[in-house]
Amino acid sequence: MFNAKAYSAASATSSLASATIPRRDPTERDVQIEILFCGICHSDLHYARNEWPDVLPAVYPCVPGHEIVGRVTKVGPGVVKHKVGDQVAVGCLVDSDHTCPNCKAGFENFCPNLTLTFGSVDKHGTAPMTFGGYSDSIVVDERFVLRIPAHLDLAGAAPLLCAGITTYSPLRRFGVGKGQKVGIVGLGGLGHMGTKFARAFGAHVVVFTTSPGKTEDAMRLGAHEVVVSRNADEMKKHAGSFDFILDTVSADHDINQYLNLLRLDGNLTLVGAPPKPLALSSFALIFGNRSVSGSNIGGIPQTQEMLDFCGAHNITADVEVIPIQKVNEAYERLLKSDVKYRFAIDMASLKSE
Ligand code: NAP
Ligand code: ZN
């Protein structure tokens, strides 16, 4: 066991603060990683503030962070996938049972015994719970450590590990591509990645935002059209015309107004996880054979596929790089939808703690 530096929350109402946490020494198939950058996902904030108490009750102290990129510093004797010096990445998952049908199909994200990067019971007993990426190092089973294409900017690559795969996966599942009209709701971390992917897949992309000031950026990021969703007339113009809509909103909002924009058999997939249940009008579904789905990050094979796609198409997140000392301020800005379009923590800033 060794000590790592981290930023941790002591309770749902306390700020994140400097802390020391235990990490296990690499076992047979483990990779030890020096963390260089870690993205800030809105899920980090939901969890650290215990906003999902019935689904994923927070355990403290809590070290968030699941958009991790870094360099391998040590490997266990049985490691075959990675070697010291490699640039690697870790997302939301650090272990699973490898035996259930979902794991066997490459959907570790739906394993009944999965270990999340933070807030899961630590199978190795190093700590009561797993600790995430707001830290200078992490030790992870090699099967959950991904390769990053060498030429990608590392800070911009970090958010691919959650915002990237969470939007890539449903767009692929619903076959988004040429000839389709696709909506992306909410231009934050997930939304801006969804916009880039939907554009790269060849769809006609419409971004829905509550922030009129994001219009120009949305076009630069890949949108063909931008709709300010609080403008009812603008919304009406798109009634019954979308093949697919990806909803990334983190707070309570009216999904029925988006369902009404779907054409016959259209689908709206929710990836946003607002703490309170959303109200659903059955008529918005009945009139048009429409459906609503959910999507949860993605499995390890698809996460590697997404990273390789990003390498081939030069796709990274637009990041605002911050020192870890600004993490509490970044959380407040997330709540005001004031992020362009993902915060990435430069972990070198932890050295001064
Ligand atoms: P984010 O960067 O804060 O972006 C959320 C965006 O939603 C905001 O930028 C804003 O966009 C819009 N929004 C915020 N409050 C709103 C409101 N009251 N009404 C309408 N729109 C509002 O968050 P994120 O990191 O992208 O995460 C988004 C959600 O996805 C979170 O709930 C997170 O927990 C969840 N998530 C789910 C998965 C999964 O596997 N399903 C994975 C990661 C994250 P505009 O300014 O453009 O309106
Ligand atoms: Zn996330």
Write the DSSP string, 265-324.
EEEEEE----SSPPP--HHHHHTTT-EEEE--S--HHHHHHHHHHHHHHT----EEEEEG
Instruction: Please count the structural domains in the chain.
Output: 2
- CATH number of the domain within which 116 lies: 3.90.180.10
Same domain? 138 vs 184: no
Same domain? 108 vs 156: yes
**What is the pTM (predicted TM-score) of this model?**
0.98
What residues sit around ligand 2, an ion, with C-beta below 5 angstroms?
A: 41, 43, 162
Q: β-strands 16-23, 2-9: how paired?
A: antiparallel
* Side chain identity at residue 41, one-letter code: C
Same domain? 118 vs 205: no
| 101 Cα to the center of ligand 1, angstroms | 31
| 248 Cα to the center of ligand 1, angstroms | 5
Ligand 1 close to Cβ of residue 214 (< 6 A):
yes
| 337 Cα to the center of ligand 1, angstroms | 8
Q: What is the residue range of 88's domain?
A: 2-162+298-352
Find, among 55, 66, 64, 121, the residue nearest to 273 by Cα: 55
| 41 Cα to the center of ligand 1, angstroms | 9
Ligand 1 close to Cβ of residue 335 (< 6 A):
no
> Which SS3 state, helix, strand or coil, does residue 155 take?
helix
Same domain? 155 vs 171: no
Taking only the tens of pLDDT, the chain with its 353 residues reads 999 999 999 999 999 999 999 999 999 999 999 999 999 999 999 999 999 999 999 999 999 999 999 999 999 999 999 999 999 999 999 999 999 999 999 999 999 999 999 999 999 999 989 999 999 999 999 999 999 999 999 999 999 999 999 999 999 999 999 999 999 999 999 999 999 999 999 999 999 999 999 999 999 999 999 999 999 999 999 999 999 999 999 999 999 999 999 999 999 999 999 999 999 999 999 999 999 999 999 999 999 999 999 999 999 999 999 999 999 999 999 999 999 999 999 999 999 98
| 82 Cα to the center of ligand 1, angstroms | 33
Same domain? 82 vs 125: yes
Same domain? 178 vs 147: no
Which atom of ligand 1 lies nearest, measured to the CA of 45?
Answer: 34
- What's the longest Cα–Cα distance across the chain? 63
Note whether 154 and 87 are within 8 A (CB): yes
Same domain? 12 vs 77: yes
Digit-coded pLDDT (tens) for 37-90:
999 999 999 999 999 999 999 999 999 999 999 999 999 999 999 999 999 999
Pocket test residue of 276, 297, 337, 340 for ligand 1, highest count of atoms within 8 A of CB: 337
Rg value, the chain, Cα: 20
Domain end (from 274, 294, 314): 294
Ligand 1 close to Cβ of residue 45 (< 6 A):
no
Residue 65 to residue 37: CA distance in whole angstroms: 10
Domain end (from 247, 275, 294): 294
- What the block records as the tokens of 256 is 């029925």
